[in-house]
Structure 1
Amino acid sequence: MARDFYEILGVPRTAGPEEIQQAYRRLARRHHPDVNKDPGAEERFKEVSEAYDVLADPETRKRYDQFGADFRQVPEDFDERVAVGQGFRSGAPRGGVRAGFGDDVQFGQGFGGVDIEDLLGGMFGRRGAGGPIPGADQEAELALSVDEAYRGGRRKLTLAGPDGPRTYDVTIPPGVVDGQRIRLSGQGGQGSGQAPSGDLYLIVRIKPDPAYRLSGRDITVTLPVTPWEAALGTTVPVTTPGGDVKAKVPPGTSSGRRLRLRGQGMPDPRGAPGDLYAEVRIMVPAELSGRERELFEKLAAGSAFDPRRQR
């Protein structure tokens, strides 16, 4: 089954022309076979170019959105009133040129208004000119625990490459969040001749943690309290990636209440840190001692509180 063109470009179906063009420029630079020597780069470039050729043309995109992978079977002058339930004979796609690399497409030939030579001309000369070719930018994932992301620091990272494993010294800024990119300048693909190497971008992935739940720079933790602490109010310690802090539990707190500790979330070197939310969970002893049972029975007999009648 053919891949979805929106998925290939990494854009939503609501993307505008500018967003589609930006996605194509980025991917074309990364996967062009004259820059990226990976064996799968040429096939990936073909996919990206074809997807852009279709989505950049409003009429072709309209037919693709309506008919999906069968859009090329639909004549340009189709009439929806008589087309329902009928098949279509194969017809040439609108726009003439198919943007697949290797189909006699030369530099300077346009794809939906984007000139390949203009797009890539700053990276290398015309094909066969023998000019220096800058190295391609590359990406890799960097898995971090919440504690590592919070504190930052230095770390060695070993990645497989065409010439064998390579180790990098990575400086992790404090407070990195999931999806953030760390740039290692000149550590990407090697350029030819005197051309510079590309950059290596490390995409941060925060590993799941049983103690912390992240939402951007905000952190949520579970705060266990006893029934009497919840009823009477108290101050209890809360464990955070930055160390223990104090949280004030107001009297009459129920399970599920979120206590906000401003500025105790993930740090942000460029702005205000996130917040920490302590989510209260009332805990009872798994086994009661004789005295505890006696006190709970007295409370049950003397209290008129019924949570099932509360609004």
Structure 2
Amino acid sequence: MRFGALFFLLALAIALDPYKVLDISKDADEKTIKSAYRRLSKQYHPDKNSDPEAHDRFIEIGQAYEILSDAEKKSNYDRFGDADPHQGGGGANFDFGDLFNQFFQHGHNNHHGQRQRRGPDTQVRLSMPLRDFYVGRDFGFDVEMNNVCQSCSGSGSADGERHRCSRCGGSGVILTRRQMGPMIQQFQTPCDQCGGKGTTIAKPCKTCRGQGTERKQRHYNVYFSPGTARNSVKVLEGEGDQSPDWVPGNMNLVITEETAGNWGFHRVGNHLYRTEVISAKEALEGGWQREIRLFDEETVVLKRGKGEVVMDGHVDVIKEHGMPHDDDYGHMYVEYRVVPIGKSNVKVEL
């Protein structure tokens, strides 16, 4: 497991009985031991088992097989309850990934044959006016993200080389064991020399200072189709922060609507709403006509013949002149507000 910059203490107070771990009897022969290891390794390999506890079980199985497959360690364990009764703790040089590869001749690019973890998703908020939601928009934007360093290709090393940690033997962890009667208490902590990575760098890259990543701007062009829902999320797969320690997550674009410059319209679902202010004279006498320009430059005519009265709060429904969706349109709702006599000079902000 690659811990990166995450340091935590994983204390496992366990009775490491290799026979119980491999589910075999103490008189099992070499063939039985090997068969049990092969079966359980396949069952709990992190590439095939997504259970969060599978990784620890996988390591446990390897440790048990390391003891029982070595005649001297097996004899020590059978006699003293510890594979190495002279060892008081320290670095564990057992590379479980190498052992698994020897068995199955299956190479893995990731540390210890473990499936490389997925990085976090990144959320980016974009905003555009209602007009762009109506007609669609090719949206160009820049965002600062972590990118794999181009100078060292993510290795963090100026010469491109990472060396197997001499303290943990490449495992990324240090195991400390304590004998407590018939019980073995085992503590596992990230290696303090390599930071849990299993490798060290002799010459850090000057560009990224050994981190393997650098913060840089990325440019994107994303098309939002006509009728895109407000606050909807567009997912750019694999465009999250990059790191040599993980597979990039996604970039989630949240598109919000700007409050200004919407030409007096507001949107509710697939429909458009607006308020049209008329004078008391127009409301009572009629005989007027107005044109409303829509976002696609089409116009809608509002009118009343002579003598047609409009009540305050009346709503006209203009079908199929709302927001586009699929191959159809919502409706437009126009509510009339009548300015009382004597207040006709009042300006109404739309």
Give the shorter-chain TM-score range: 0.3 to 0.5
Greater RCO (CA < 8 Å, at least 6 residues apart): 2
TM-score normalised by structure 1 residue count: 0.47
TM-score normalised by structure 2 residue count: 0.42
More strand, by proportion:
2
